[in-house]
Structure 1
Amino acid sequence: MEIVGAVVSMMQCFCGENCSRQSVSETCTYLRRPRALANRLNEKMELLKAREEDIKRKLHVENVCRGMEPKAEVNMWLINVRKITSSIASMQEKLTIDKRCLNRCLPNYMSRFKQGKRINKKIKEVDRLLGQSIFPDASLVDMMPRRGKILPASSLVGESAQRSLETVWAYLNDEHSGIIGIYGMGGVGKTSILVEINNRILRESTIFDNVIWVTASNDSNVQKLQKDIARAIGLSFDDEDDEMTRAAQLLDALMRRSRFVLIIDDLWEAFPLEVIGIPYPNYGYDCKLIITTRSMIVCRGMESVREVEVSVLSEEEAWNLFKQKVGEEVLASPTLQAVAKDVSKECGGLPLAVVTVGRALRRENDLRQWKNALSQLKSATGRIEGMENRVFARLRFSYERLKDNVTRSCFLYCTLYPEDHHIETEELIKYWTWEGLLDKLGYGESKMLQGKMILDELKHACLLEIIGCQEGSLNEYVKMHDLIRDMAIAVTRESPLFMIRAGHEMRVPPVENEWLVGLERISLMRNDLNSLILEPRCPQLTTLLLQYNSLSKGVHPSFFNHLKSLKVLDLSYTGISGLPDSFSNLKNLHALLLRSCWNLHHVPTMGRLKELRVLDLSSTSIECVPPGMEMLLNLKHLDLSHTTLLEFAIQILGTYRFLESLLTIGLRPPLLLGPDFVNVLKRCTILTTFEANFINLQDFNYYVSSDHWNTLESFKFCVGYPQSSKLPGKNSVGFFGIHIVETEASSWLPGILELVIHECSGITHLPMFIMNDSSDLKHCKIKYCDEMEWIITPEWGTFPNLELLEIEGLCRIYVLNIIACDNLMTLLPLELVQHLKNLEKLELENCSMLEEIIVTDAENEEIIQENNGEVVLPSLQKLRLVSIPRLRSICRGPMICDLLTTIEVVECPELKILPFFLEMRQQLAASLKQIKGSRSWWRALRRKHPTATSLLAPLLRPEREYSSPANEHSHGGNFGNSSFGAR
């Protein structure tokens, strides 16, 4: 105690007046119990940290669940807590409570005193913060919720983009549209539309309280997407949380929010909502989900209720945007403006490309620079500033995201066609098959089905555009967008290596040093090449497309010497007269296509082409079977149609054990398809496609009776003179220019989809051919069969799948009766009506979709003018219309039916005009005997035909307002019972 007193006295001397004012007990505490003081500070800090955690937890709940923000005073308190925590941590690192002096004999009381004083000061600061931490819950946060963020937006260009925007907005305000998918190719403007939707919700919508925007990255997975959404709503996960825990936290946080829209931009892969933790949007407005993606498959994978495709700009819209980016003053020169329009067209309506190119050429007055830019765009070099990084890079990522190398190879194959070319899908799939691309998939499905699955993936990824069916064809077509094609061509300059000069109007082939050793595919199709006088060395080349060139001067004798890997060679539609002997060395060739090589007379030996699967010699001038054909043991497809073969031994077909397709329609002289031929066909056990013409009906009947057709998946048969062009679809049978005796017309192939009867004599009614099941029949065309008396009668059954009935030159028809044809919307084109001079009865019953009977359009102007604008049925005596609820018109103009005796209209509430009442003729008034119909219908007619109804009122036989017996008929298909009669 004496030592302490002495120390205190000493400290008073050192510390002076301030120290002397301290209480002795406090000073003693500093000196004697410094560790207890430090422990007390630690306890206070633990209490403060606990209080901080409690407040943070409450703030987190308010922020995540309700979008509330902390008040300023709460934020200030949290800042002060962080400061003192940091200050104390720093102080504790420097504490030296056991420091000693006088050669470690005594404690260093001076050091203890200073440290104790600092600790005591911090204790008081902590006490003050603890006292300030009592916040009522209501005062923790601001009551104004954070709804979302207004995003910087560029104005939408074009009517199509505006329509897409309004469609999405309408779906957003529809309580039944919980998940909305927006898809389209890269750079088409999906995000721009979504930004506009985001901003419009925040500015205008009273339905939704919150908008949550998340941009998915290219490599998104479940964990990353969960974290991105969590970050957007202020939720944080612990590092040890697993996927399910994160999903549960996210679901809980989102479900606590009322009326929100979750926007996920640029999604590349579909994820189950429950796995991520997104509540499923049910009916109502509590929750909506909008996604953008480049693939419709992703939309469907996310279970979208509504899908909106964003299309490219029209040519005019693209030009307007381009002018805006370039600057109108630059385009004052007509010459420069013409080039600028071509540059704009080359952007293909893709907004990103239009903007990028427009900015690169902004205020550029040099015509040479514009022409150079046009040249670069056409050559797909991407050297215009920004094109490679901003446009091609985005488009290329869609290509790289395709699921496997096979799909990528199939996509690149499309570049072999010319720019803007409409690619027939079936032909494209065949190329893939012949190249062997589909062999790598290993699926059990047919190659055609595999190919269609790949095409679907490419279409859904917006890498191919659907064109649909072209006029006169039942096949589907696709095309590549110009910039997608440019991107793909850029890929083929690296790996795999292609040479693509399709449709370039070339007269001279590429020079020999352009035929690089590493080339895998070459397309020179659709040019003006007269010859190929070179010897290319391309040992890796697998496809060579030369179709639609003249090649009248032939091919170099050694042209094929160094093309050992070639699998597909297409010389179709060329004027080549013969193939060089070097062709015989193509041991790996899979497909040789010589279709319509009209001048082709010579093909060298094929004996060494052991791998050949496809041989197309159709419409060529060869007269002898190429030598060595009997050695083609792997042949699967043989097309000899419309070819003259003076010598053809049918026994050769028996050696083709793998033959799947045999086409011989138009082969001259025609094959004798009798017992010997059928026996050879039966040895081709896997033949699934067969097309042939039969000289007469007897041969056809024999073939049908052989039951060989049972193994076929596709067939096309001409009986009489060959007319394959008039049988465009598969599973079709045509009878052309033959005399038919009813006793001979006894064979019918089940599964026929199309039936054509053209210029045949002896046939009096269609049922002569329909002796078995005809339920598959879709198209029926009957033309110029002058002896036809009856086409179809009800007693011969129904045609549930009939879609097209085409009649021409059958002038003897006098009865037309159609019953229960539910999908029929119109019946007779005007050009057919003018041939129905003998039609006496027209009866239609129970056709629920029929709106108009006689159709007139712009193509019929000449016919209408010839008849002074009138439709004439000079022999019509009875018109019966029963139970046709949508029927609005018999025909659009006046109608002359001077022999009409009976009119019956029952349950046709929309028919309020009768065309023969428009100009009431004395002949009609004299011939009419009775009119059957309801009084309500007659009253409706009075408004349109007051004179006629007044004159003919005595002829009315009112029907009771009843349900027609016609309702008892079956509604099983497009065509129900129909009859056409003639005499």
Structure 2
Amino acid sequence: MEAQKSLKVECLTEDEAINLFKKKVGETTLNSHSDIPQLAEIAAKECQGLPLAIVTIGRAMADKKTPQEWERAIQMLKTYPSKFSGMGAHVFPVLKFSYDNLPNDTIKTCFLYLAIFPEDHEIWDEDLIFLWIGEGFLDGFVSIDEALNHGHHIIEHLKTVCLFENAEFDRVKMHDVIRDMALWLASEYRGNKNIILVEEVDTMEVHQVSKAKEAQRIYLSTSSLEELTIPPSFPNLLTLIVRSRGLGTFPSGFFHFTPVIKVLDLSNARITKLPTGIGKLVTLQYLNLLNTDLRELSPELATLKRLRYLLLEGSLEIIFKEVISHLSLLRVFSIRVKYMLSKRNYISSSTEEEVNYSRKADKAIYLHEDNKALLEELEGLEHINWVSLPIVGTLSFQKLLNSQKLQNAMRRLHLWNLEGISILQLPRINHLHSLAIYRCGELQDIKVNLENERGKRGFVADYIPNSIFYNLRSVHVNQLPKLLDLTWLIYIPSLEHLSVYHCESMEEVIGDASRVPENLGIFSRLESMNFYHLPNLRSISRRALPFPSLKTISVMECPNLRKLPLDSNSARNGLKRIRGESEWWQGLQWKDETIQLTFTPYFKEW
């Protein structure tokens, strides 16, 4: 309609929802029993602020005058919302209009897939997209990067049409009523109950769930994996997602009953050992072991000849030799390393004392030590094109420098313990998304090679779009006691997240950038910057920067940082929070009082 401005109609607040719901129920019904007003509030909350659902359900409850009727109705809303009066006839068909107008079947399939997770579940964007890739929804793309980019496009489109919702920190979720509609679409409306089956079964007595035998996709949740009962045969099961809130081992023999499983997601299952029999899953293509407590990757994995995507947790310490080299179809190999800022800095890595429990020096690769052998196995894989892992030690780093194939595949690079290196010349890694440099005691300076194919050098505006680090979005440096500055970051045009911890010698983050034009936009895409235990830090930047994308600043144990590179035009678009110690904030120096008053409302004490 060529409107000049579009406004998103938000869901009602809880009070607004309750008031509208009670209005549709009517005073006569509300006054028919003293328990009903409280039950009405419970029912209203089930609508999650969606006006269409509030009106429909409120009208349906108008003739129910006893608490027992209300309690039965609320239970139906919680368990079988599609069967509640008016939902299938009035609410879902209206919501279905948005679904029907999605551009293609791929987006429709990706939308329905999120309904496999329980109500209010939030999932990282990238984790969801990798599941879509593992399921084969995005198989039309040659590279993983193209598939990931398209996945992000799908998520943004689904948010635009209000079928997905934003959650914090690059996560996404589905409104409860939208999820109910998705399950209705996937089963009752289409007359096919096998597309998606969600079974959040805390008792895990799967054999009691009669529908499970026919399910294609199942989500299971339990408080303890030891309680899991061995199920009957699942001849149609393609996808199994398991979550556990307690530590444990997977029951022996479970996978004898899943002959055609393609996707196995045990992330957040808190397992300490790989399930016995996992090597029997000859059809498996996607295996997610993120956020587990695995220390050792079993040799049994070498039999998974069709495996294409392997996602591992940074707590992993041992991979047996020639396991990875046997996975001939592997495309994605990722070890996710977590870095968190807290009063005690934490990194997901192991101490020497923790890994001596199982040394088999001739048969295993120890990830906390030199892991050159792992890089050699990855290099030998024909189809590998997306790699994320820690590279430990100078020999391993040299292996990366000598392998163009590994550099082309590297997406997240974590450099640890580069002994004897005082000047780090970063290699040309065009597709690198994330860089972490950790525990390099001699490192003083980091450099980038600014020479492009035509032999030009220097920092000029028209060079940046072709930068060798154009895709680099996150930089984390930690425990580099001799590092002097990070001035090389001015050459990273797409940087979004910067964290600098335990760099005791650093006095400036950005040093002399006088030759960089002021209109070029240093840190123009930076969203967050974190500085922790930098006792000599005096400056982030010598001049104030506009920071058009900045959302958060976190500062801890930086007593000499007395100025922030902010002026009245800085961070005007989206700043949400500045965190630090109260004493540090009170001691900051500002160019004028107006700037101080501008940023004071954003300060939150640690």
Q: 1:511 is matched with which residue: 188, 191, 207?
A: 207
Q: 1:656 is matched with which residue: 360, 371, 381?
A: 381
The corresponding residue for 1:478 is 172
2:430 & 2:543 partners in 1: Cα distance?
A: 36
The corresponding residue for 2:77 is 377
CA contact (8 A) 1:533 1:556 kept: no
1:756 & 1:602 partners in 2: Cα distance?
A: 27
Quote the offset at 1:797 in angstroms. 3.8
The secondary structure found in structure 2 opposite 1:606 is helix
Q: 1:672 is matched with which residue: 391, 395, 401?
A: 395
**1:718 matches 2:437:** yes
Higher helix share: 1
Q: Unpaired runs of 5+ in structure 2?
A: 338-348, 366-372, 451-467, 599-606
Cα deviation, 1:161-212, whole Å, max 9, x if unaligned, reads: xxxxxxxxxxxxxxxxxxxxxxxxxxxxxxxxxxxxxxxxxxxxxxxxxxxx
Quote the offset at 1:591 in angstroms. 0.9
Letter of the 1:718 partner, please give it.
Answer: I
The corresponding residue for 2:481 is 761
The corresponding residue for 1:532 is 228
CA contact (8 A) 1:515 1:537 kept: no
5 Å-filtered alignment, 1:80-95, equals none
Structure 1 residues 400, 654: CA separation in 2 closer, same or farther (over 3 Å shift)? same
The secondary structure found in structure 2 opposite 1:466 is strand
Q: 1:326 is matched with which residue: 8, 18, 25?
A: 25
Q: 2:300 is matched with which residue: 605, 615, 633?
A: 605
Letter of the 1:606 partner, please give it.
Answer: L
Task: Give the TM-score taking structure 1 as reference length.
Answer: 0.48
Task: Give the TM-score taking structure 2 as reference length.
Answer: 0.74
Cα deviation, 1:823-875, whole Å, max 9, x if unaligned, reads: 589999998899349x7xx8999x562699xx9999789549xxxxx9557xx
The corresponding residue for 1:633 is 328
CA contact (8 A) 1:417 1:525 kept: no
1:596 & 1:509 partners in 2: Cα distance?
A: 24
Structure 1 residues 409, 368: CA separation in 2 closer, same or farther (over 3 Å shift)? same
Quote the offset at 1:689 in angstroms. 1.7
Q: CA RMSD in A?
A: 4.3
**1:770 matches 2:509:** no
The corresponding residue for 1:341 is 41
CA contact (8 A) 1:825 1:849 kept: no
CA contact (8 A) 1:584 1:609 kept: yes
CA contact (8 A) 1:697 1:719 kept: no
Structure 1 residues 808, 320: CA separation in 2 closer, same or farther (over 3 Å shift)? same
Structure 1 residues 374, 824: CA separation in 2 closer, same or farther (over 3 Å shift)? closer
1:674 & 1:443 partners in 2: Cα distance?
A: 25
Letter of the 1:410 partner, please give it.
Answer: C
1:443 & 1:657 partners in 2: Cα distance?
A: 14
1:405 & 1:616 partners in 2: Cα distance?
A: 27
Structure 1 residues 489, 699: CA separation in 2 closer, same or farther (over 3 Å shift)? farther
Q: 2:545 is matched with which residue: 821, 842, 858?
A: 821
Structure 1 residues 382, 712: CA separation in 2 closer, same or farther (over 3 Å shift)? closer
Structure 1 residues 684, 397: CA separation in 2 closer, same or farther (over 3 Å shift)? same
Structure 1 residues 676, 862: CA separation in 2 closer, same or farther (over 3 Å shift)? closer
CA contact (8 A) 2:267 2:289 kept: yes
Quote the offset at 1:638 in angstroms. 1.8
**1:572 matches 2:293:** no
Quote the offset at 1:628 in angstroms. 4.6
Quote the offset at 1:410 in angstroms. 1.1
2:538 & 2:207 partners in 1: Cα distance?
A: 70
5 Å-filtered alignment, 1:359-758, equals 359-439=59-139, 446-467=146-167, 470=168, 473=169, 476-493=170-187, 494-495=191-192, 496-502=194-200, 506-511=202-207, 514-525=210-221, 528-550=224-246, 552=248, 554-557=250-253, 559-598=254-293, 601=296, 603=298, 605-619=300-314, 623-625=318-320, 628-640=323-335, 642=349, 647-648=364-365, 649-650=373-374, 651-665=376-390, 672-676=395-399, 678-679=401-402, 681-684=403-406, 686-696=408-418, 698=420, 704=426, 707=427, 709-720=428-439, 738-741=441-444, 746=447, 751=469, 753-758=473-478
CA contact (8 A) 1:380 1:490 kept: no
CA contact (8 A) 1:415 1:488 kept: yes
Quote the offset at 1:427 in angstroms. 1.2
Q: Unpaired runs of 5+ in structure 1?
A: 1-301, 721-735, 865-869, 882-886, 894-983
CA contact (8 A) 1:531 1:553 kept: no
Structure 1 residues 888, 851: CA separation in 2 closer, same or farther (over 3 Å shift)? farther
1:801 & 1:576 partners in 2: Cα distance?
A: 44
Cα deviation, 1:660-684, whole Å, max 9, x if unaligned, reads: 233332x8x76831444544x4354
Cα deviation, 1:504-543, whole Å, max 9, x if unaligned, reads: 6x12332255254432111114655534332432222211
Letter of the 2:183 partner, please give it.
Answer: I
2:296 & 2:144 partners in 1: Cα distance?
A: 40
**1:801 matches 2:497:** no
Letter of the 1:673 partner, please give it.
Answer: S
Quote the offset at 1:633 in angstroms. 0.7
Larger Rg: 1
Quote the offset at 1:571 in angstroms. 1.3
Identity %, equivalent residues: 24
Structure 1 residues 341, 635: CA separation in 2 closer, same or farther (over 3 Å shift)? same
Length, aligned pairs only: 536
Cα deviation, 1:908-961, whole Å, max 9, x if unaligned, reads: xxxxxxxxxxxxxxxxxxxxxxxxxxxxxxxxxxxxxxxxxxxxxxxxxxxxxx
Letter of the 2:278 partner, please give it.
Answer: F
Structure 1 residues 825, 457: CA separation in 2 closer, same or farther (over 3 Å shift)? closer
The secondary structure found in structure 1 opposite 2:384 is coil
Quote the offset at 1:458 in angstroms. 2.3
CA contact (8 A) 1:380 1:489 kept: no
The corresponding residue for 1:311 is 10
Cα deviation, 1:868-920, whole Å, max 9, x if unaligned, reads: xx9557xx9xx9x6xxxxx6625459xxxxxxxxxxxxxxxxxxxxxxxxxxx
1:606 & 1:816 partners in 2: Cα distance?
A: 47
CA contact (8 A) 2:207 2:231 kept: no
Greater mean deviation of Cα atoms: 537-546 or 604-613? 604-613
The secondary structure found in structure 2 opposite 1:524 is strand
The secondary structure found in structure 2 opposite 1:718 is strand
